[in-house]
Every structure is written in structure tokens, then in C-alpha cells.
């Protein structure tokens, strides 16, 4: 494994990599502006305005789109949605966007954007969290609204977001994720994992209907999965998918948890009394051969085999790291941007750190390195 530093326009606040398949990377800077970079081809980056949340959606008929959602200045409770084709040979290409709103009206404003009105009861401060799994996209508004869309590419000319369902939550939403029901063979939407105070809430469709039907109005039921009584005062801080049917989440004390619905178990690490709030999961499609990376004391990166984490968590024992990296600078965010590349960002530096060759680290013993 080797190390590289790349200069950035600003200090990196977070990475956007979910569902990106190692083809594209989003960098959100501390000024809340975002850059989208192509990783496999030479093309100028796409610069987005302040406060735009991004996800990468794949399509059943091929290709990948970037969706950008932000609070619209045209209304107190409105959001603006835009779309770009990230696979075009011409670079990041704006696409016509068609969005079904909460009343199932198809909205399009000025061809390349759609402005959706939300209930005024949500207020004017809209804190948005997004999640994606294949072509399903969810948007959560912190004050209690969750929207699930299915993203489609229409005749290679436009991107369509078809409303699957809308759900409300009685408590504030801190993060959201999508996972499939491992035991279901029915064709239908994924489970919706919502991070709340005291645990998570799992939304599942009550009746599996054909999501391709134009009049499908799916109903979801919710199940609350709390933290153990000793941790019930903690709040979910972040959720990342491990496999299509499971995820890892962090709480406000810095502990990590493994969710394989409906089971929620604490991941026991050598310093499990918190301190793991900065973490990254390398998602592997259909297998548990990825990695879990955690940051300890701001400068120590511990790498764990995800298959070990799952096995040891099920057994209730501590998982030991396979590799340790000591960074010269404080790390405030990390992410696997490709299968073999772990990236780190710092609030205090205009650069990002890359550790390349993660899959080549030791096979049977703990290794350490200094970068």
C-alpha cells in the first residue's frame, strides 16, 4: 500500500461515493460547495453551488446519473432538483429532469431543473440527507419527512424520478440509508433505515406491488429498533451500507453498530468506548470481503476486514485490526473512493490523502505503516 497527497480547492468536509462504483467522486468542501470528479477519464470537474446534496443513481437500462438537491430560493419550503449524466463522453452533461411531487404531479421547471414544494409545516430550515441503492433514491428532511423515488432514464434524453412513497417521522431524522430485504424474493422497493435519537426506525413496504405500475401507491410500516437500555440516550450520527442488505452506523458517543435487519449489534473494537465517529465502509456487492476503516484520536487509521467484523460481532467478541496507518495530519473524514483506494480529508488542510492498494495489505497478521 502506498500513500499520495493531492491538493484541493478548499478543505474537504466530506466525500460523496455511495453507489459511485469507483467511477466518480464528490468532494464537499468546508464552504459547503461541492466538486464532482471523474476517476476513470480526463474531464473537467463539475462545480456545484453551496448546500447541494448529491447522490449517484444507476439505471436499469445502463448508465449513471448525478442528482443534486438543494433548498430552493423560490419558496420557503421548496427544494430544487437537477440531474447530470456522468457517463457521457462530453463530460458531466446536464439532463432534463422530470420529478413526481408529493401529489404525483410531474414537475419540470426550465427543462434542467424541477422545483418541488414541501409541506409548510416543515419550516424554512431544511436539513437534507440523501441515500441511494441502485436506482432507488431517498430524501430525508431533518424535521420529519422522507421521500422515496425510483430513478429512470427516459429514452436517453431525460431523467425521471417516479414517486414510490412518502413517509413522515415524529422525531428528527439524523441520517438515512437503503438496504434490501435479504429474505424477500419479491420485486419491490428496499427497506428504509432512518437514524433517530435512541436507535433506528426501519420502514418496510406492507405489500409488495409492482413498482413499475403508474398508479402504485405503496404503503410502508415502521419498526423501531432501539439501542440497548444503557445507550438509549445516544443519537445516530451516520449510516453507511456494507452489503445490499446491511449497514454500519455510528452514534453520538462514537460507537459503531452493525445492522442486519432486524438485528442491531454493537461492533466491539479494541477501544470500543467511543471515538469511532469518523469511519468508512467499503461496500462489496453480494459478498463480505470489503473493509471497515476507523479513525482513532484523529490521526490513527485502523483497517478491519469486514468479514471479520461481521463474524466477531455475531459472536460478541472484539475485532482486531489487520492494518494500522499513522497520519501526520488530523483526519476529519474518510471514504473508500475506489475498491483499493482509501481517501482522507482534514478540516485544516487544502489537500486530501490517498492510501492506494488496500487489498494488498497483510493476509494473516497486523501490519502498520506511517504516512
Domain count for the chain? 1
DSSP one-letter string for 182-219: TT--S----EEEEEEBTEEEEEEESS---TT-TT----
Structural domain contains residue 142: yes
pLDDT per residue, tens digit, the chain (371 aa), is 888 999 999 999 999 999 999 999 999 999 999 999 999 999 999 999 999 999 999 988 788 999 999 988 766 788 999 999 998 888 999 999 999 999 999 988 878 999 998 888 776 677 899 999 989 999 998 878 999 999 998 877 899 999 999 998 888 899 999 999 887 755 678 999 999 999 999 999 886 555 455 445 678 899 999 998 877 789 999 999 988 889 999 999 989 999 999 999 999 998 656 678 899 998 766 554 789 999 988 889 999 999 999 999 999 999 999 999 988 889 999 999 988 899 999 988 999 999 998 877 765 444 444 44
Structural domain contains residue 226: yes
Locate all alpha helices (DSSP H) within the chain, ordered by sequence: 306-315
Cell (9 digits) for 72: 430552493
Structural domain contains residue 22: no
Q: How far is CA 150 from the centre of its chain?
A: 16
How does DSSP classify residue 122? Answer: G
**What distance in Å separates the CA atoms of residue 280 and residue 287, rounded to the nearest whole number?**
17
Burial zone of 371 (CB within 10 Å; 0-12 exposed, 13-18 middle, 19+ buried): middle
Structural domain contains residue 40: no
Which residue range forms the structural domain that includes residue 164? 51-233
Strands 158-168 and 300-305: unpaired
Structural domain contains residue 278: no
Residue 79 contacts residue 125 (beta carbons within 8 Å): no
This prediction's pTM: 0.90
Structural domain contains residue 93: yes
Structural domain contains residue 86: yes
Structural domain contains residue 228: yes
Amino acid at each position: 500500500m502506498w500513500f499520495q497527497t493531492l491538493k484541493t480547492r478548499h478543505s474537504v468536509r466530506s466525500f460523496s461515493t455511495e453507489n459511485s462504483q469507483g467511477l466518480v467522486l464528490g468532494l464537499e468542501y468546508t464552504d459547503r460547495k461541492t466538486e464532482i470528479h471523474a476517476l476513470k477519464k480526463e474531464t473537467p470537474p463539475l462545480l456545484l453551488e453551496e448546500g447541494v446534496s448529491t447522490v449517484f443513481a444507476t439505471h436499469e437500462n445502463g448508465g449513471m446519473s448525478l442528482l443534486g438537491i438543494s433548498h430552493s430560493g423560490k419558496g420557503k419550503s421548496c427544494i430544487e432538483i437537477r440531474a447530470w449524466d456522468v457517463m457521457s463522453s462530453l463530460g458531466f452533461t446536464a439532463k432534463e429532469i422530470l420529478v413526481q411531487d408529493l401529489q404525483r404531479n410531474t414537475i419540470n421547471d426550465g427543462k434542467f431543473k424541477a422545483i418541488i414544494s414541501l409541506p409548510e409545516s416543515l419550516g424554512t430550515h431544511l436539513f437534507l440527507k440523501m441515500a441511494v441503492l441502485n436506482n432507488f433514491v431517498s430524501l430525508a428532511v431533518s424535521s420529519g419527512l422522507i421521500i422515496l423515488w425510483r430513478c429512470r432514464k427516459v429514452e436517453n434524453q431525460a431523467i425521471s424520478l417516479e414517486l414510490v412513497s412518502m413517509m413522515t417521522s415524529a422525531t428528527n431524522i439524523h441520517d438515512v440509508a437503503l438496504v434490501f430485504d435479504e429474505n424477500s424474493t419479491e420485486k419491490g422497493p428496499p427497506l428504509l433505515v432512518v437514524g433517530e435519537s435512541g436507535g433506528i426506525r426501519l420502514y418496510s413496504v406492507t405489500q409488495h406491488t409492482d413498482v413499475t405500475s403508474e398508479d402504485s401507491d405503496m404503503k410502508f410500516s415502521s419498526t423501531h429498533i432501539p439501542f440497548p437500555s444503557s445507550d438509549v440516550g445516544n443519537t445516530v450520527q451516520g449510516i453507511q451500507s456494507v452489503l445490499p442488505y446491511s449497514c454500519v452506523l455510528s452514534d453520538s458517543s462514537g460507537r459503531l453498530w452493525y445492522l442486519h435487519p432486524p438485528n442491531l449489534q454493537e461492533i466491539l473494537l479494541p477501544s470500543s468506548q467511543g471515538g469511532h465517529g469518523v469511519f468508512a465502509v467499503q461496500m462489496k456487492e453480494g459478498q463480505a470481503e470489503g473493509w471497515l476503516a476507523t479513525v482513532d484520536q484523529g490521526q490513527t487509521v485502523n483497517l478491519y476486514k469486514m468479514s471479520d467484523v461481521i463474524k466477531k460481532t455475531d459472536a460478541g467478541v472484539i475485532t482486531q485490526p489487520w492494518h494500522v496507518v499513522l497520519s501526520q495530519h488530523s483526519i476529519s473524514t474518510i471514504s473508500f473512493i475506489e475498491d483499493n483506494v482509501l481517501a482522507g480529508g482534514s478540516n485544516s488542510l487544502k489537500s486530501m490523502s490517498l492510501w492506494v492498494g488496500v487489498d494488498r495489505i497483510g493476509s494473516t497478521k497486523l501490519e502498520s505503516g506511517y504516512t
